[in-house]
């Protein structure tokens, strides 16, 4: 009610005042407790973090540089192997980039060379059924684009079906026109 309203408001103000005083003492205690740690942290940052971080960054950059040069050398050797093997089996239309090898530090030359051989051997295996098809030159043109034998065969067969349908329609319309 109105009579107790003013008393409650005074009580609230008194509680807020006590809380603020206690909170200020808490902040001072925290500051006193953390002071030695803050001093230690400043010394640590000056003599440890500020020395180690630039050194770590410099070492990381050098490691990265060495890794990149080692990967480049590995890539060059694998690319030479690719070109040599492709030439030996008569494949001149597939570039090394189409292989999309993931050359990493942990990838051995032996495993990468094996991947190259498997890839080129698959190309040779794909060429065998293409050679038996009736429109093999056109299929080969499609195959060179996609390196997918079945897709290439289907594409050329579909193209010829479409051409036959067009010719049939044309002959039909010419026959109707003649009648």
pLDDT in tens, 39-85: 999 999 999 999 999 999 999 999 999 999 999 999 999 999 999 99
Rounded mean pLDDT of the chain? 93
Q: Say if residue 3's pLDDT is above 80.
A: no
Chain position carrying tokens 């001072």? 28
pLDDT grade for 11, boundaries at 50, 70 and 90:
very high
Distance, CA of 42 to CA of 22 (rounded, Å):
29
pLDDT at 177: 85
Give the residue from 131, 173, 137, 177 showing the smallest Cα distance to 156.
137
Across the range 120-134, mean pLDDT stands at: 91
Cα(42)–Cα(57) distance, integer angstroms:
21
Report, as an integer, the average pLDDT of 111-118.
Answer: 96
CA 165/CA 93 separation, integer angstroms: 33
């Amino acid at each position: 009610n109105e009579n107790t309203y003013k008393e409650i408001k005074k009580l609230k103000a008194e509680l807020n005042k006590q809380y603020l005083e206690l909170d200020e003492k808490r902040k001072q205690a925290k500051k006193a407790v953390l002071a030695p740690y803050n001093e230690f942290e400043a010394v640590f940052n000056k003599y440890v973090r500020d020395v180690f971080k630039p050194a770590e960054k410099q070492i990381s950059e050098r490691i990265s540089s060495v890794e990149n040069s080692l990967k480049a050398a590995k890539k060059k050797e694998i690319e030479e192997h690719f070109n040599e093997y492709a030439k030996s089996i008569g494949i001149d239309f597939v570039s090394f980039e189409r292989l999309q090898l993931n050359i990493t530090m942990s990838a051995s030359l032996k495993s990468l060379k094996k991947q190259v051989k498997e890839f080129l051997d698959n190309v040779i295996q794909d060429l065998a059924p293409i050679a038996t098809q009736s429109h093999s030159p056109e299929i080969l043109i499609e195959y060179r684009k996609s390196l997918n034998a079945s897709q290439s065969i289907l594409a050329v067969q579909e193209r010829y079906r479409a051409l036959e349908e067009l010719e049939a329609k044309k002959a039909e319309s010419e026959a109707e026109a003649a009648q």
